[in-house]
Amino acid sequence: MANITSEMVKELRQSTGAGMMDCKKALTECEGDMEKAKEYLRKKGLAAVAKKTGRIAAEGRINTYIHGEGKIGVMIEVNCETDFAAKTDDFKELVHQLSLQIAASNPTYIVAEEIPADLVAKEKEIHAAQLRDQKKPDAIIDKIVEGKLSKWHQEICLMNQPFIFEEKQSVDDLVKNVSAKIGEKISVRRFARWELGEGLEKRVYDLASEVAAEMNK
């Protein structure tokens, strides 16, 4: 079986506009052959979605969602190409589902490409060091690290996360499916998530530490 790296997935995504999970599956099915993977995506009907990537999606909706009697709040902006599409039930439902996803799964980024390079490098080094301590062969360390990074992306990147209502499908797959259905490019532009009392425990702890230090002088 061919070793499918994140660089290969990124290259296929950039050239086709298909989702990351779709690209990874295509490369796996085609044993790493890039041209065959492109053809695979076209046959699966994802090429139609890919053609939309050059269009401008400036319409859409800003949605707010409050969960748990005011314990968690989410605001998200999702864009499409026309106001007509933004008013369809399919698009509205997608935006609502994305709000629920963010409330439940607490992502930090939209896509893996947004993660700062220094943070990725640090994460790679941590995993590599752990594997070296476990006496893993150097020949397989890179492959294991790639797998751990992929799992990390699924935890912190919205589009990589398993969809909460159907975990066999990624959020990226969900968005691509709705995009194909309404015939327009859809993009998640930005989101914010708030949790009641978030960060307060640290401030209380810091204040207690300062008081204790003052008393010990």
pLDDT tens track for 75-92: 999 999 889 999 999 999
Which CATH code is given to the segment(s) 116-156?
Answer: 1.10.286.20
Q: Work out the average pLDDT over 92-118.
A: 94
Is CATH 2.120.10.30 correct for 1-54? no
State CA 199 to chain mean position distance.
24
Classify domain 56-111+164-217 at the CATH class level: alpha beta
Mean pLDDT confidence for 169-195: 92
> Residue 157 phi/psi, 5° resolution?
-110, 125
Least confident residue range of 35-39, 50-54, 61-65, 70-74: 50-54
Domain extent listing, the chain: 1-54, 56-111+164-217, 116-156
Distances from the Cα of 154 to the Cαs of 87, 98, 158, in angstroms? 30, 15, 8
User: End-to-end distance of the chain based on CA atoms, in angstroms?
Assistant: 65
pLDDT in tens, 133-142: 888 887 888 8
6-19 per-position pLDDT tens digit: 888 878 876 676 77
Residue 108 has pLDDT above 90, yes or no: yes
Say if residue 97's pLDDT is above 60: yes
pLDDT band at 211 (very low <50, low <70, confident <90, very high): low
Does pTM top 0.85 for this prediction?
no
Task: Find all residues with CB under 8 Å of 165, minimum gap 6, and list them.
Answer: 97
